[in-house]
C-alpha cells in the first residue's frame, strides 16, 4: 500500500493511499462517508479485495477528514467534488491505460453522484454503499434543534459521534447541501450504477435508496436487517463481494456479434426469450399475463411482423432484440441470464438504434427490465399499466441529435 499526498485545486494537499502498479486495466476511486476516512474498514476491505483481482484502487481523505491538514471551514461540497476530480486526474496519470470506476460510501456516494452529474468525468461505473442520496434531509433529521440554533448563532457546530476525528460543520456546508439535490441533478444514463443498502439503515433510509434507484435506473441490492455500517454477520463480506462482482462483470472478452436472424434461427431465439421470461419476468405477472405473453411469441403472424436481431458469442446465441414500426418500437429484448451485466444488452440496443428510422424509440418495459432501460437512456413516458394481465411501463428513448443535446459516448 502506497501513501502519498497530492495537490488539488484548492491550495491544500489531499492525503491518499493506493495499490496501483500502473499496469492495471481498471482503477477504482474510493470515497468515504461523513466523519470517516480513506482507511475506514470498508475502504480497506474493498481496496484489498480489488487488488487481489488485479484491479487498482485509490482512496483519499475529504477536507477535514482522516489525515487532512485543513479544518472544517474548508469542508464544502465544491471542495469535495474538486478533490475527487484531482484524485481522478492523478489516478489516470499513474494508470494511463486503466478504465476509471468509483466505489463510494454514504456521504461519499452523495459527492460521487454530484460529481457525475456536474463535472466531466472519466469513469462510467459507480458502486454506491448506503448512499446518502438525501444528504440534506439526513442532517435535518440528525442535528438536534439545540445544535441547529447553535449553528445559526455561531456559524458552526462540532460533531464527534463516533467519527474518526471531531468534524466542524459550518453553516456554509449546510447551505451547500440544500443547493445540491442529487434527485434533481442526476440524469439517468449518466453512468452505470449499482447500489447496496440495508433495510435497517438508521442513517440513510432504504426508502430514499429505492426512490433514487427507481429514478436513476440503478441496480439496487437490498440486504435484510443490515444497518448503515453493515455490522450484521457477514455484512462486510456481502458488500465487498457485491462490489467486486460489479467491477469484474465487464464486457466479455470474446467479440459480441449482432446480426439480423434468418428464419431458421428464429425458433432458437424464441426459446431463449421464453426461458429468460420465465426466470426473470414471469414471477411478477399473473397467470393471464404469462399465457398472453406465450401466445404472442407462439404467433407466427405476430413474430413474422418483427425485425429480430441476435447477439452471439462465437456460435452461442446469448441475446435477442426484436422491433416493429420501422425499428422504432422494441417488442422483445432478452439476454440469457448467464450473461447479464456483460455488455450484451447494450450491443443489441446499439444495433436497434442504428436501424431505427425515427427520432425516438419506444418500449413497454416489464417492471423487472425497468432499470435496464433507464441505464440505456430511456425515460418513463407514463405510469405502469396492466393489459390482459401483462404489466408494463411505457418508456421512450429520445435520440440526442434530435433534442438539441451534444452527442456523447454511451456509457459502458
Enter the C-alpha cell of residue 357.
Answer: 428510422
Q: Which residues contact residue 30 at a Cβ distance below 8 angstroms, ignoring those fewer than 6 apart?
A: 38, 43, 46, 47, 57, 58, 59, 60, 102, 103, 104, 108
Yes or no: say if 353 and 360 are a contact pair by the CB < 8 Å rule: no
| DSSP codes, 36-52 | --TT-HHHHHHHHHHHH
Name which of 83, 112, 63 is nearest 6 in CA terms. Answer: 83
Name which of 87, 73, 65 is nearest 9 in CA terms. Answer: 87
Q: What is the pLDDT of residue 406?
A: 36
Yes or no: say if 265 and 317 are a contact pair by the CB < 8 Å rule: yes
- Residue 75 and residue 104 in one domain: yes
Q: What is the pLDDT of residue 338?
A: 79
Q: What share of the chain is helix, strand, coil (3-state, %, to 5)?
A: 40, 25, 35
Q: How far apart are CA 269 and CA 247, in angstroms?
A: 29
Instruction: Kindly indicate the confidence band of residue 142, based on its pLDDT and cuts at 50, 70 and 90.
Output: confident
Span 93-122, mean pLDDT? 95
Name which of 286, 277, 371 is nearest 333 in CA terms. Answer: 277
Span 364-393, mean pLDDT? 91
Residue 387 has pLDDT above 60, yes or no: yes
Summarised one tens digit per residue, pLDDT across range 266-319 is: 999 999 999 999 988 998 899 999 999 999 999 999 999 999 999 998 889 999
Round the average pLDDT of the chain to a whole number and report it. 91
Span 369-394, mean pLDDT? 91
- Residue 144 and residue 260 in one domain: no
Residue 210 has pLDDT above 50, yes or no: yes
CA 296 to chain centre: 33
Yes or no: say if 298 and 346 are a contact pair by the CB < 8 Å rule: no
Yes or no: say if 228 and 138 are a contact pair by the CB < 8 Å rule: no
Give the residue from 195, 218, 248 where a domain finishes.
248
- Is residue 13 one of the residues assigned to a domain? yes
Instruction: List the CATH number of the domain containing 287.
Output: 3.40.630.30
> What domain range includes position 63?
2-248
Span 345-354, mean pLDDT? 93
- Is residue 411 one of the residues assigned to a domain? no
- Residue 16 and residue 58 in one domain: yes
- Residue 226 and residue 261 in one domain: no
Q: What is the pLDDT of residue 342?
A: 75
- Residue 241 and residue 261 in one domain: no
Residue 341 has pLDDT above 80, yes or no: no
Instruction: List the CATH number of the domain containing 20.
Output: 3.40.50.1820
H or E segment and range at residue 78:
helix 77-94
Yes or no: say if 276 and 335 are a contact pair by the CB < 8 Å rule: yes
Q: How far apart are CA 112 and CA 220, in angstroms?
A: 17
- Residue 127 and residue 15 in one domain: yes
- Domain count for the chain: 2
128 DSSP β-pair partners: 104, 195
Q: How far apart are CA 309 and CA 216, in angstroms?
A: 27
Give the residue from 223, 248, 273 where a domain finishes.
248
- Is residue 333 one of the residues assigned to a domain? yes
Q: What is the pLDDT of residue 410?
A: 32
- Residue 299 and residue 391 in one domain: yes
- Residue 243 and residue 273 in one domain: no
Q: What is the pLDDT of residue 405?
A: 36
Q: What is the pLDDT of residue 140?
A: 85
- Residue 68 and residue 187 in one domain: yes
Span 113-126, mean pLDDT? 94
Residue 18 has pLDDT above 60, yes or no: yes
Q: Which residues contact residue 334 at a Cβ distance below 8 angstroms, ignoring those fewer than 6 apart?
A: 272, 273, 276, 277, 319, 320, 321
- Is residue 409 one of the residues assigned to a domain? no
- Three-state SS at 334: strand
Q: Please state which of the ranges 8-12, 14-18, 261-265 shows the lowest mean pLDDT.
A: 8-12
Name which of 142, 126, 183 is nearest 35 in CA terms. Answer: 142
| C-alpha torsion angle, residues 324, 374, 223, 247 (rounded to 10) | 100
Q: Which residues contact residue 101 at a Cβ distance below 8 angstroms, ignoring those fewer than 6 apart?
A: 26, 27, 28, 29, 123, 124, 125, 126, 127, 247
Enter the C-alpha cell of residue 354.
Answer: 442504428
Name which of 30, 56, 192, 219 is nearest 124 in CA terms. Answer: 192
Q: Please state which of the ranges 283-292, 311-320, 326-335, 395-404 shows the lowest mean pLDDT.
A: 395-404
Q: What is the pLDDT of residue 192?
A: 87
Enter the C-alpha cell of residue 366.
Answer: 416489464
Enter the C-alpha cell of residue 107.
Answer: 456521504
Q: How far apart are CA 324 and CA 344, in angstroms?
A: 21
Summarised one tens digit per residue, pLDDT across range 232-262 is: 999 999 999 999 999 987 544 568 899 999 9
Q: What is the pLDDT of residue 254?
A: 63
Q: Please state which of the ranges 52-66, 95-109, 393-407 shows the lowest mean pLDDT.
A: 393-407
The pTM assigned to this predicted structure is 0.67
Residue 41 has pLDDT above 70, yes or no: yes
Span 370-378, mean pLDDT? 88
Instruction: Kindly indicate the confidence band of residue 409, based on its pLDDT and cuts at 50, 70 and 90.
Output: very low
Q: What is the pLDDT of residue 408?
A: 35
Q: What is the pLDDT of residue 400?
A: 61
- Is residue 412 one of the residues assigned to a domain? no
- Is residue 410 one of the residues assigned to a domain? no
Q: How far apart are CA 22 and CA 27, in angstroms?
A: 9
Share of the chain above pLDDT 70, in %: 96
Residue 407 has pLDDT above 60, yes or no: no
Residue 203 has pLDDT above 50, yes or no: yes
- Residue 167 and residue 37 in one domain: yes
Give the residue from 248, 268, 296 where a domain finishes.
248
Residue 404 has pLDDT above 50, yes or no: no
Q: How far apart are CA 22 and CA 107, in angstroms?
A: 29
- Residue 15 and residue 87 in one domain: yes
Instruction: Kindly indicate the confidence band of residue 403, based on its pLDDT and cuts at 50, 70 and 90.
Output: very low
Span 34-54, mean pLDDT? 94
Q: Please state which of the ranges 5-14, 78-87, 186-195 shows the lowest mean pLDDT.
A: 186-195
- Residue 64 and residue 175 in one domain: yes
Q: How far apart are CA 195 and CA 128, in angstroms?
A: 5
Amino acid at each position: 500500500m502506497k501513501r502519498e499526498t497530492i495537490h488539488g485545486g484548492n491550495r491544500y494537499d489531499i492525503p491518499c493511499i493506493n495499490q496501483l502498479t500502473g499496469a492495471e486495466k481498471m482503477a477504482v476511486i474510493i470515497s468515504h462517508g461523513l466523519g470517516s476516512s480513506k482507511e475506514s474498514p470498508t475502504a480497506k476491505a474493498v481496496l484489498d479485495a480489488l487488488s487481489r483481482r488485479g484491479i487498482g484502487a485509490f482512496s483519499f481523505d475529504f477536507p477535514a477528514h482522516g489525515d487532512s491538514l485543513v479544518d472544517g471551514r474548508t469542508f464544502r461540497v465544491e471542495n469535495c467534488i474538486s478533490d475527487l476530480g484531482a484524485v481522478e486526474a492523478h489516478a489516470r496519470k499513474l494508470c494511463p491505460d486503466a478504465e476509471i470506476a468509483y466505489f463510494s460510501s454514504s456521504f461519499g456516494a452523495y459527492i460521487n453522484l454530484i460529481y457525475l452529474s456536474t463535472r466531466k468525468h472519466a469513469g462510467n461505473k459507480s458502486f454506491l454503499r448506503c448512499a446518502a442520496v438525501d444528504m440534506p434531509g439526513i442532517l435535518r433529521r440528525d442535528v438536534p434543534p439545540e445544535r441547529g440554533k447553535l449553528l445559526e448563532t455561531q456559524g458552526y457546530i462540532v460533531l464527534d459521534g463516533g467519527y474518526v476525528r471531531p468534524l466542524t460543520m459550518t453553516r456554509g456546508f449546510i447551505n451547500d447541501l440544500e443547493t445540491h439535490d442529487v434527485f434533481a441533478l442526476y440524469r439517468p444514463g449518466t453512468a452505470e450504477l449499482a447500489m447496496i443498502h440495508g433495510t435497517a439503515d438508521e442513517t440513510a433510509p432504504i426508502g430514499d435508496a429505492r426512490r433514487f434507484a427507481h429514478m436513476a435506473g440503478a441496480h439496487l441490492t437490498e440486504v435484510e436487517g443490515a444497518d448503515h455500517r453493515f455490522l450484521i454477520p457477514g455484512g462486510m463480506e456481502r458488500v465487498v463481494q457485491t462490489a467486486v462482482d460489479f467491477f469484474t462483470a465487464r464486457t466479455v472478452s470474446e467479440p459480441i456479434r449482432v446480426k439480423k436472424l434468418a428464419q431458421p434461427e428464429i425458433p432458437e431465439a424464441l426459446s431463449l426469450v421464453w426461458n429468460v421470461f420465465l426466470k426473470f419476468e414471469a414471477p411478477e405477472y399473473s397467470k393471464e399475463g404469462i399465457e398472453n405473453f406465450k401466445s404472442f411469441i407462439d404467433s407466427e403472424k405476430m413474430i413474422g411482423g418483427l425485425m429480430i436481431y441476435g447477439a452471439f458469442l462465437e456460435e452461442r446465441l446469448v441475446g435477442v432484440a426484436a422491433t416493429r414500426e420501422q425499428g422504432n418500437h422494441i417488442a422483445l429484448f432478452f439476454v440469457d441470464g448467464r450473461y447479464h451485466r456483460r455488455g450484451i444488452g447494450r450491443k443489441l440496443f446499439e444495433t436497434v438504434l442504428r436501424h431505427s428510422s425515427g427520432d425516438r424509440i419506444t418500449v413497454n418495459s416489464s417492471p423487472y427490465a425497468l432499470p435496464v432501460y433507464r441505464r440505456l437512456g430511456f425515460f418513463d413516458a407514463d405510469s405502469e399499466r396492466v393489459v390482459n394481465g401483462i404489466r408494463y411501463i411505457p418508456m421512450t428513448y429520445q435520440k440526442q441529435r434530435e433534442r438539441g443535446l451534444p452527442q456523447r459516448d454511451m456509457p459502458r
